[in-house]
Structure 1
Amino acid sequence: MHKDIDESDRLRRLLSAVALGDRGAFRTLYDATSARLYGCALRVLPQESLAEEALQDAFVAIWHAASTYQPHLAAPATWMATIVRNKALDVRRRLQASGESDGARYVDELNLDPLAALQDAAAGPQERLQMSRDAQALARCLETLASRQRQAICMAYLHDLSHGDVAAQLDTPLGTVKTWIRRGLERLRVCLTTQEAA
């Protein structure tokens, strides 16, 4: 726990220096975080070259946005991981919009284990433990849903696809997808409430 606090403080100091244009601090920040953040990008973009592209875009954004970082809102690693994830999602959306991606391949990639999708590479041990418990509870409840309903919810909420994108990926009418998601979320809410009460 103490080590995590020290690491967060170090990253905060580095981000403060980067906000002032310190290139040496930026290099140190990159060296300290790029491996973990690359893992975040790989969860969204299984191709290494695309994950590397997203990571590079994210570090450019971090360089420019360091002055906007607000320590009271998020840990530095979490803030950076969010930027990486958003850049990876941008890359994926661009590929899908340009028709460069194979729809069936994306459906397979997006139908991942919810436990894996919920993991945050930037989380500390205590956060990981709680996240693991929450993810396991969610995974148990997801298993109670019909497979297409579960897939639609995972694509929409664990992989940030719009309902329209989910409908296109599953080759299913938009109204059907919306109904699956609405009813599935209600079942998940009931299931999770029951588990918490037990």
Structure 2
Amino acid sequence: MEKQQMLEEEPLIRLLSACAEGRQEAFKELYDLASPKLLTSALYLLKERGLAEEALQETFVHIWYKASDYVADKGHPFAWMVTILRNRCLDILRRESRHQNKIRAVETDPLQTPDINDSVVEDWNSLDPFELRLLQECLQQLQKEQRKSLLMAYYYGFSHSEMVEKLQRPLGTVKSWIRRAMQSVRECMQK
């Protein structure tokens, strides 16, 4: 992270103390004073304005609820705030990385490639080998959209909104694909 010019210590300590007492006007003043520099740091780390603003918002929510945790003897108040911001940025980077990995994993239909197919099914290790093979066969019988939707929802952990965005289909269609896929798999597994 680029070196930040520290804000004056005394006003920040006073404002944090007032925030710890629940004084909203002090919180607004603290935000006005520190947010431009914190946003600059977030932009430096995240490289995307929307994510940087999200990190800044989460940082100030944390500051509001944890202002009483700040101990002046342990360091400069702005350094304390930058540490909170940095942790929020790292959380966002981890979340975005997981999201990108999910997207890459679904780019190809997992059941079209035997290697991936086997690894997908092996992860459902609560099933015995016969049930695993039966599940694999049942999944392969689904229409491509249904199979992909079912795997996105239950294997990769996509939310409905993420699936709508990725598949570029209405929410009702996505839910219908999942419901029909679940019903088909259930019926197939009971045969």
Taking structure 2 as the reference length, what is the TM-score of the superposition?
0.49
